[in-house]
């Protein structure tokens, strides 16, 4: 299993991320901010909102059941 995160969608204030279920939320946030810094004072954090299609945040990856998808905001 890959331990890396994958940022698969980028919006102005949102990011969609695929990450291994074994990683803590804190570790995923650290990795997202290192890989794709916001460039402003606020950092990427996991959103309390659902995805635009109504999916829960997080939810299981459709391709690899050992991974979850997370919605981030800054």
Q: What is the pLDDT of residue 17?
A: 98
- What distance in Å separates the CA atoms of residue 11 and residue 62, rounded to the nearest whole number? 21
Largest CA distance in the chain: 34
Give me the pLDDT at residue 2, please.
Answer: 66
**Which pTM was predicted?**
0.93
**Which pLDDT does position 3 carry in this prediction?**
77
């Amino acid at each position: 299993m890959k331990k890396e995160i994958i940022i698969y969608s980028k919006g102005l204030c949102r990011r969609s991320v695929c990450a291994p279920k074994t990683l803590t939320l804190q570790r995923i946030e650290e990795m997202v901010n290192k890989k794709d810094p916001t460039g402003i004072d606020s950092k990427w954090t996991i959103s309390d909102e659902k995805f635009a299609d109504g999916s829960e945040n997080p939810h299981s990856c459709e391709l690899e059941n050992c991974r979850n998808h997370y919605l981030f905001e800054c």
